[in-house]
Amino acid sequence: MATNVLGKSGRAMIEALINGETDPDVLSELAQRRLKRKKEELKKALT
């Protein structure tokens, strides 16, 4: 999964969570680079 929660994807997701976003589909769309290939797994983790 994500090895660095403070990378671009992690920071974007944390910022979205702070702003009230809770939808795993929306949050997983913020994934970039290698994490983008793991969207389905990421959605499960964000649920």
pLDDT values of the chain reduced to their tens digit, one per residue, 47 residues: 556 677 888 899 999 999 999 999 999 888 888 777 777 888 888 78
Distance CA 15, CA 17 (A): 5
Give the per-residue pLDDT at 15: 95
Q: Indicate the burial class of 10 (C-beta count within 10 angstroms; 0-12, 13-18, 19 or more).
A: middle
